[in-house]
Structure 1
Amino acid sequence: MAVLSKIRQRSFLVIAIVGLALFAFIIGALIENGGFGQTSRNAGTINGVDVPFEDFRIKVDAAQKSQQGMSLMQATNGVWEQEVKRVLLEGQYEKLGLRIGNDQLINVIKEDPQFAQNPQFQNAAGKFDKGKFNEFIASIKNTSPERWQQWLEYEKQLSAFATEQMYNTMLKSGFYTTQADGKFNYELENNKVTFDVVSVPYSTIDDKKVELTDAEITAYMKKDEKKYKADETREIEFVMIEDKPSAQDEKEVKDKVMGLLNPVADDPKTPEVDESKVGFTNAPNVVDFVNANSDIKYDSTYIAKKDLPVEHAEALFNTAPGQVYGPYMFGNYYCISKSLGKKSAVNVKASHILISYKGAARSQATRTKEEAQAKANQLLAQVTANPSSFPMVAFTNSDDSSKQQGGDLGYFSKGQMTKNFENFVFGNPVGKIGLVETEFGYHIINVTDKQDGIRLATIAQKIAPSEATSDAVFTQATKFEMAANEKAFDVAAKELKLTVAPVAKLGALDENIQGVGSQREIVRWAFGAKEGDVKRFNIPAGHVVARLKKINEAGLLPIEDAKMAFGAKLRNEKKAELIKAKMTGATLEAVSKATGSPIKEAKDIVATNPYIQTIGAESKVVGTAFSLKPGVVSQAIDGNSGVFKIRVKSSAKAPAVAEYKDIITRLNGQSRGSVQGRVYNVLKDDADIKDNRAQFN
């Protein structure tokens, strides 16, 4: 009761504490869910469909792991494009009611070699057995939950692939070329026109006479704001201060390597010989000497001349056994090398023709093993009788991708090819052609070259900045950073004899900066800093001191960018009006006299190749020519390179043909081949896409 009494006495305090706890809980939830200006929980939204960040991150991680050397931003951008495509296409599938049923999915699975050619899923006739496959899937479901989940995920991918193929087939089938289209294109390609032309180039008017105002540029962009929409960007100026070896650093490494060449004088008072002082030239154990003194450990590989440092390849390859070559530079290393002898045929070059058969490794062939052997023997006889035909025979018959290179496999060493193949090429002389069977099928092989190799013991000392040099570079970078915070960036750089790099424009998802390389940290800083902020960054090559010069908010293109994009077009429009005022006269001769431009002849021009000799491609001019009657002078035409007036001299219709089959086939191929990309681009342009990736990277 005493406790209850105290609680009643302090009820206000309890209410306050509970209230604060609830408030903290609500605030925490708001923050967690992106309230009060916090980042979104989604990587983006596409036509109202959220892309949850956690799912997106998992896919990015998987993409990075699947491809060695892929950067985080490369993986991020690749996955984002996949997600955009997935959402947009799924929206189309939903509208069209596209679904993949079990029977259709089985048909897709039957086309996959890993299932179709697996004996586990084949019947007595060697055909895919749906019943056996379903039994296998049922056993996974009942015995292995983990494998079952993996299968469901794979099935989901197969279904998505099959649906997309069905959608693409529908798109392609909706594009066709009629006889009328064929006739029209035939005439475009074969009707000819000859005309006289007077042209006044835009270049005859000085740009200063038609300068553009910011208002004119902005007004032009507002006519099509979506086309000239610009994302948020940042402009930075920076100084790169490299942490590189000084002349003294290079000299010290050179002296150290040179000191390893010859014996070090022994102390005359000490009778014992110190083997560590013998020197590289006479070292009793070269391998131990290299490993004790080189930044790169001993490599026992025999190296072909083509793989040696280019500038020193000839001298190194011809160094006698036991002799030392050097010192010499190789990249950032100062080196001396001792020859340990040569070996013949360390690399070989060969071409082959693979004739595979059903059941061979990685084979998609349907021929039997006996049929493959018979064909291989036939081709062997053909190329043996005429070795020069080998590339063409390979191109037209081989089941290997090397057929695109005439069967050429390039150079390779031992251990890179399957055993029987390797035994043949290393065991036969150059020019030998023969037949070998491997697990991949029958190979007709032509040994085309062999390379000898040399074994070198090389001491390589890396030329790197010393601690004193790095300290001096750090001091200089820090000093400049402080100065750039107190005075103009370019003034501070000039005082310290540093070079300011050209201004770099950065997008929110960029990671590469010209002259610096991949520096996502600098990009992130630029999008969180204020104009005028200065910061120093440590990078592998040294230091970058950057200043945020300008913030470009999202909206229309910045004026300077707009001038680059279409400024010439607007200036030419102004120039055209000035030129037209000069093009007076009812005849082409009068126009020529008024402008000082000669009359030229454009002879036998076709619409599909509107190139006028000495002038260039002018489709509007040529199009006008096909619409004019002979002898009539055209109105002024604003072309690509200037303003034109023309007069048709003659025209010739293409000879009539009975059908346009070849043209129709070609046009069908062109339209259907590009339809997927064109439709996707339209869907993407019309989509409402909110991209939040920059908040997470």
Structure 2
Amino acid sequence: MGIMSFLRNRAGIIIVGAIGFAIIAFLVSDAVQMGGSFLHADQTEVGEVDGEAIPILEFNEQVELNTNNFKQQMGQSNLDPQMTSYIVENTWNQFVSKLLMKKEMNRLGLQVSKNELNDLVTGKNPDPQIIQNFGDPKTGQLNRMQLNSFLDNVKTQPSDSPVSQQWTAFLLNIREGKMAQKYTNLIKNSIYVTTLEAREDYSQRNKLANFSYVNLDYNSVPDNQAKITDQDYSDYYNENKFRFKNPSESRSFEYIVFDANPSKADSAEVIAAVQKIAADFRTSTNDSLFVSINSETKLPVNYVRRGQLDPALDSLVFKASSGTFIGPIFTNGSYKMAKVIDVKVGPDSVKASHILINPAAEGGIDKAKSKADSIRNLISGGASFTELAAKFGTDASKDTGGDLGTFARGSMVPAFEEAVFNGQTGDLKVITTQFGVHVIKINAQIGSSKVVKVALVDKSLSTSNKTQQEAYAKATSFLAAAKNDKAFDEESKKSGYTKQLAENVIPTQAAVEGLDNSREMIRWVFGSDKGDVSNQVFEMGNKFAVAKVVDVFEKGTLPLDQVKKQIEPMVIKRAKARLLLENMNKAVTGSTSIEQVAQKAGKPVTPVQNIVFANPVIPGLSQENKLVGTIFGSQPGKLSKPIEGDQGVYVFVVNGFSNPAPLTNAFKQKVQVAQSIQQRASGEAYKVLRDNSDIKDNRVKFF
């Protein structure tokens, strides 16, 4: 029981550790990369990293492990599409990172020897994961007796047993973590900051500039007065090509939505059903059974504290007396009704411990109860609850003597909560839940407030089959008429349907904003060509959609025609700058002071105090890198030439600089600069590895 319990109870830790290594020090949110055709990629591979395949079966296994761990950590049994997409994305990052780092570490010759690994497990300075799993919770120190006992047990297991395989995976995780640490240290130790760099950084952060400026704002010129040409677009594009590098293939598509929201007839039908349920609920003699049969959410009949219910019900329930019936009330898309069964004052929270007995391991529920009764009798006779929990407990709490900490109402399953909140401090109880048989000790009951035992029934305002069919019929009729790109546009205009646009969608995107469960439509888009109209109606809850691919943006530098609309505001700004530079040059010509420039330009002089080079933000405007950079390279008292900034065209004069006190401790400054660089170094190193690798992502075919 001990060895299997250890691995079972710490499976989540092992999984988290495996994920942790893969992304340790290299957390990135944009690891998605695409390559090749989705239609012709290998059907057995979810992707490739520098020619090394990621098999779909192996990938799916890891997704399942990560999903189960996530559910356990979050206490959820079901995940929505966004959460599922998040897990798939993290799993992909895990595989890509692991393969890239494996290749780089092999190139560098980084290794962890067998002796090093043994030292990480049983040496003087064991790995933190060993201490976490075999440490004394009271002292935080390694319990070597427990560790050695566990290792002796592992030696008795066959090499192909689940225990041996899980322990091997755990050791591999420790080894990989050590490799990652060596790599990170190698990068950090390669960073060197010179005294000159330290002094320059100190100056940039502490030298102050005082200046005055005159500004002609771009917003002062209407867009229609800024005449732009094809050459303007071309010039801006060629100067800023680096901005248009597409890290992964993306697509834009239009779609028309056919809503199947509840009709008036649907509402009337639901209201009639709700009124009948309410009448029956009022006279029900078995409220728990009634809730389980008639309520959609099936909340257990239990005591609740103020604030736990829907706000529309909460205040009414806590003002009511026992026996009061409330509702139906329509809130958040559902009709809700409540029956107040009991009102009393009870504890706000409870501190409790338990010993969980697994019926499957004991030969059935009766034997588990018998064992639990025996344990309770031992505790009543003076035996240590903590020691018995460590010996007989089967969940993770046994490592802390069964201590569950302090928890409020709603934190535990109903049977457990009923036992601890309705008992007295010091009580020992034996109860059964879906998790097994519990020996419970109530350590303390904290606070007191009004609680209400309430039965809740809800019924959502749903769409009828008839309404669904009518919306679907409209969608299929449109699809039949919109056979191609041109017909899609003509038919939507003819029928008065509004086309919606989803821009720059990436292959792994979970959904289109405003459309739940739209992943299938996105997958179709990435298996189609520009101009294609969907060959099916996509169903998304109460909505149906027909789509058309508008544009395909390939991985790599996007061509000018695909970014022309995107860069238009910047090109217009440049055209405005030409006009304003001409006006400002006229104002500067013949002027000997900033005041004369302001008078000619018809703008005020604005003084600015205490600007530093490292933070080039002008109060009242925004970040102006070019302007501030020019200021720090100028002589005091000299009128500048017009400067084309981000918000407008500027002329300035430096009134003076305030130099900081001399740097007396260059070594300390060097350390600070180095630490700042080191914090980014690992992530930047990973980014370089990723950018210089050939990564093919075929996930859109499978997820």
2:455 maps to which of 454, 457, 461: 457
Residue by residue over 1:88-112, the C-alpha shift from the partner in whole angstroms, topping out at 9 and shown as x without a partner, is 2223222322111123223433224
C-alpha distance 223-56 of structure 1, shift in aligned 2 (>3 A):
farther
C-alpha distance 102-484 of structure 1, shift in aligned 2 (>3 A):
same
C-alpha distance 136-648 of structure 1, shift in aligned 2 (>3 A):
same
Residue by residue over 1:631-664, the C-alpha shift from the partner in whole angstroms, topping out at 9 and shown as x without a partner, is 2222332222222222222223222353256544
Residue by residue over 1:73-129, the C-alpha shift from the partner in whole angstroms, topping out at 9 and shown as x without a partner, is 433332222222223222322232211112322343322454687499xxxx97748
Q: How does 1:388-399 map to 2 (within 5 A)?
A: none
Aligned to 2:109: 97
Q: Does 1:600 align with 2:606?
A: yes
Distance 1:601 1:287 in 2: 74
Q: Percent identity?
A: 22
DSSP-derived class of the 2:86 partner: helix
C-alpha distance 348-139 of structure 1, shift in aligned 2 (>3 A):
closer
Q: Does 1:55 align with 2:54?
A: no
Q: Does 1:585 align with 2:601?
A: no
Q: Does 1:322 align with 2:316?
A: no
Distance 1:648 1:296 in 2: 69
DSSP-derived class of the 1:87 partner: helix
Aligned to 1:331: 332
AA of the residue aligned to 1:67: F
2:250 maps to which of 230, 233, 241: 233
Residue by residue over 1:266-305, the C-alpha shift from the partner in whole angstroms, topping out at 9 and shown as x without a partner, is xxxxxxxxxxxxx544455555555565555573211223
Using structure 1 for the length normalisation, give the TM-score. Answer: 0.70
Q: Does 1:630 align with 2:629?
A: no
C-alpha distance 70-64 of structure 1, shift in aligned 2 (>3 A):
farther
Distance 1:451 1:492 in 2: 63
Query: 1:221, 1:556 within 8 Å by CA — same for their partners in 2?
Result: no
AA of the residue aligned to 1:235: S
Structure 1: 5+ residue stretches without partners: 1-33, 263-278, 351-399, 401-407, 429-442
AA of the residue aligned to 1:537: F
Q: Does 1:528 align with 2:527?
A: yes
Aligned to 1:245: 262
Distance 1:98 1:290 in 2: 62
Residue by residue over 1:597-645, the C-alpha shift from the partner in whole angstroms, topping out at 9 and shown as x without a partner, is 3333223333233333444433333333333233222233222222222
Q: Does 1:691 align with 2:697?
A: yes
Aligned to 2:308: 307
Residue by residue over 1:458-500, the C-alpha shift from the partner in whole angstroms, topping out at 9 and shown as x without a partner, is 4434432233333333333333333434885465446656443
AA of the residue aligned to 2:466: A
Aligned to 2:469: 471
Query: 1:193, 1:651 within 8 Å by CA — same for their partners in 2?
Result: yes
Q: Does 1:80 align with 2:92?
A: yes
Distance 2:671 2:413 in 1: 45
Distance 1:62 1:131 in 2: 26
Residue by residue over 1:199-243, the C-alpha shift from the partner in whole angstroms, topping out at 9 and shown as x without a partner, is 222333443344555565456545665652334433322222233
1:175 maps to which of 191, 205, 216: 191
Query: 1:257, 1:336 within 8 Å by CA — same for their partners in 2?
Result: no
DSSP-derived class of the 1:517 partner: coil
Query: 1:119, 1:126 within 8 Å by CA — same for their partners in 2?
Result: yes
Distance 1:95 1:113 in 2: 27
Using structure 2 for the length normalisation, give the TM-score. Answer: 0.70
DSSP-derived class of the 2:632 partner: helix
Query: 2:553, 2:562 within 8 Å by CA — same for their partners in 1?
Result: no
AA of the residue aligned to 2:682: Q
Distance 1:248 1:138 in 2: 67
Give, in angstroms, the shift of residue 522 of structure 1.
0.9
C-alpha distance 585-292 of structure 1, shift in aligned 2 (>3 A):
closer
Give, in angstroms, the shift of residue 163 of structure 1.
0.5
Structure showing greater Rg: 1
Distance 1:485 1:553 in 2: 26
Aligned to 2:516: 517
Q: Higher mean Cα deviation, 211-220 or 457-466?
A: 211-220
Aligned to 1:187: 203
Distance 2:80 2:334 in 1: 28
For the aligned residues, what is the CA RMSD?
4.2
Give, in angstroms, the shift of residue 38 of structure 1.
5.9
Distance 2:158 2:99 in 1: 33
How many pairs are equivalent? 572
Distance 1:619 1:552 in 2: 31
Residue by residue over 1:419-446, the C-alpha shift from the partner in whole angstroms, topping out at 9 and shown as x without a partner, is 9xx9799868xxxxxxxxxxxxxx9999
C-alpha distance 458-78 of structure 1, shift in aligned 2 (>3 A):
closer
Give, in angstroms, the shift of residue 66 of structure 1.
2.9
AA of the residue aligned to 2:324: Q
Distance 1:154 1:518 in 2: 37
C-alpha distance 325-549 of structure 1, shift in aligned 2 (>3 A):
same
Structure 1 runs of 4+ aligned residues shifted over 6 Å read 422-426, 443-446
AA of the residue aligned to 2:255: F
Query: 2:250, 2:507 within 8 Å by CA — same for their partners in 1?
Result: yes
